[in-house]
Amino acid sequence: MEYQNITLSLPKDILLKAKHIAIEKQTSLSGLLARTLEEIVKREDLYKKARERHLSILNNVPDLGTAGSINWSRGDIHER
């Protein structure tokens, strides 16, 4: 994997808290941010794949034998 440096501007209080979190997790701030961004990208990829899979299912609905028309009434289904 090829890496590229970036410049990031953060509010000082957020930066200080993030540094403390990185220390608690025994990593660098760069490592913490990289891992967090990797997780976001992975979740987004999984979401897109799931969305495509579900849209494919919706676009290829199996024939339920109705030929697209309903020939019964609510009363037929819910006899009272």
Domain range list for the chain: 12-59
* Res 80: pLDDT: 63
List C-alpha distances in Å: 20 to 6, 24, 27. Answer: 21, 6, 10
pTM (two decimals): 0.69
Q: How far is CA 48 from CA 27, 37, 38, 54, 56, in A?
A: 30, 16, 15, 10, 12
CA nearest neighbour of 33 among 75, 3, 60, 58:
3
Candidates 27, 42, 3; CA nearest to 18 is 27
Task: Profile the chain (80 residues) by mean pLDDT over runs of 10 residues.
Answer: 93 98 97 97 98 94 79 80
Q: What is the DSSP letter of 63?
A: P
